[in-house]
Amino acid sequence: MTTTTDSITVDGDKLMDFVFRAVDEVGATLNAALVVMGDKLGYYRILADKGPLTSAELAESSGTALPYAREWLNAQAAGEYLTYDPASTRYTLPPEQAAALTMEDSPAFLPGFFQLALGTVRDADNLLSAARSGAGFGWHEHVSDVHIGCERFFRPSYHANLVESWLPALDGVVDKLQRGATVADVGCGHGASTILMAQAFPNSTFVGSDYHPESIATATSRAADAGVSDRVRFEVAAANAFSGSGFDLVTMFDCLHDMGDPVGAARHVRAAVAADGTWMIVEPMAGDHIEDNLNPVGRAYYGFSTLLCTPASLSQDVGLALGTQAGPARIHDVTTAGGFTRFGRVAETPFNQVLEARP
């Protein structure tokens, strides 16, 4: 069916295709909360450990009310996160979904991504007036699911790639770390990247910095738990004001695009890094052109850019607002403006790109 008005012609079949796609989007939006619910209540872990379960069995095993367990299971089955057997009335978590939803050290682990997204969406109302005025909304103003979910999403990728492939991709850096290097991990958040490097390279010393005091408190506690406090310290400091100089390596993980003044941060890194030092910049995977990023990963990152990263930048001095999908060319411009002369992309994953800058 085709409908024509004075100004537009609407293809009825295409309209309904879009409507049902939108229905699927609503289901996906609700599913973000359901995944976080299943993660926090232990539903996925119980299904992975105990095999196919009825709704009553899941409710009993988790200590939750049957009506919630029943409806959650049905929603997960409808979304093909679980399979359902009508004959036994049992639900199964397939092994691939189990890997993505229960194995926290797997680079495919997803609940942190959902937790980050759900926390970000919870704060969306705060951005309406900001969008009208051009004001920002700081990282520190978000709910805790944003901070916790961010680390839970990125940490498995760091665990899988940082020591094994990203650091070896940098020119001569691993040899320095093995002998004993000084490292500044800027924008360290909860310290996952700092602690991983300290565990892998016991002859080196590390200082992590972040402007968010609560994150630094968490990082300090986790370093003590990991037994690396003898070679790791953390400080509350902005990216253009962290302490120290002569660093063999400065790292930034998924944070440069969030900064209000990334060029100012680049200049500070240039002043703090040794003459033969390295600046490793890990950023979300992105191409240099909008059309390069019109894909599922780019869609998610543009969403985070609108609701989380760009407001964070706008809340700070300068407010350059690079955006989550800045791309290597714009990052190169930042490093050049900061005084670095060499730049290149040395590694990548589906979610991240690793960039190397040298004086």
Residue listed under structure tokens 């040794």: 274
Residue 206 clears pLDDT 90, i.e. is over it: yes
Place of tokens 């089955």: 77
Question: Does residue 246 come out as left (phi exceeding 0), alpha (psi in the -120 to 50 range) or beta?
Answer: left
Separation of alpha carbons 86 and 88, rounded Å: 6
Element holding 340 (H helix, E strand): none
Domain ranges for the chain, please list them: 2-101, 115-358
CATH superfamily of 115-358: Vaccinia Virus protein VP39 (3.40.50.150)
Q: Regarding beta strands 205-210 and 232-236, do their DSSP bridges make them parallel or antiparallel, or are they unpaired?
A: parallel
**Mean of pLDDT over the chain:** 95
182: pLDDT confidence band, cut at 50, 70 and 90? very high
Q: pLDDT tier at 24 (50, 70, 90 boundaries)? A: confident
Q: What mean pLDDT comes out for the span 33-56?
A: 97
With 60 as the cut, is the pLDDT of residue 15 above it? yes
Predicted TM-score of the model (pTM): 0.89
Q: Which residues pair with 53 in a beta bridge?
A: 91
Can you tell me the mean pLDDT for 66-85? Answer: 97
- Range 187-198 average pLDDT: 97
Identical fold, 2-101 and 115-358 = no
Query: For residue 5, what pLDDT is reported?
Result: 54
pLDDT reported for residue 20: 85
Predicted confidence band of residue 73 (pLDDT cuts 50, 70, 90): very high
Confidence band for 3, pLDDT divided at 50, 70 and 90: low
Model confidence at 28: pLDDT above 90: no
Quick one: the chain helix, strand, coil %, rounded to 5? Answer: 55, 15, 30
State pLDDT tens for residues 288-344. Answer: 999 999 999 999 999 999 999 999 999 999 999 999 999 999 999 999 999 999 999
259: closest CA among 143, 136, 353?
Answer: 136
Q: Is the pLDDT of residue 59 over 60?
A: yes
Residue 1 above 80 pLDDT?
Answer: no
| 130 burial via Cβ count (<10 Å: 0-12, 13-18, 19+) | middle
* AA identity, residue 180: G
The burial of 35, by beta-carbon neighbours within 10 Å (0-12 exposed, 13-18 middle, 19 or more buried), is given as: buried
Q: Is the confidence at residue 78, as pLDDT, over 70?
A: yes
Contact 105, 156 (CB under 8 A): yes
Tens-place pLDDT, residues 213-272:
999 999 999 999 999 999 999 999 999 999 999 999 999 999 999 999 999 999 999 999
Multiple choice CATH, 2-101, 3.40.640.10, 3.30.360.10, 2.60.40.10, 1.10.10.10: 1.10.10.10
- Residue 13: what pLDDT? 86
pLDDT score for 4: 56
Q: Which residues of 237-248 are buried (b: 16+ CB within 10 A; e: fewer)?
A: bbbbebeeeebb
pLDDT tens, 103-123?
A: 998 889 999 999 999 999 998
What DSSP state is assigned to residue 53?
A: B
Q: What was the pLDDT predicted at 12?
A: 84
283 beta partners: 353
Tell me, rounded to whole angstroms, the distance of Cα 60 from its chain centroid: 34
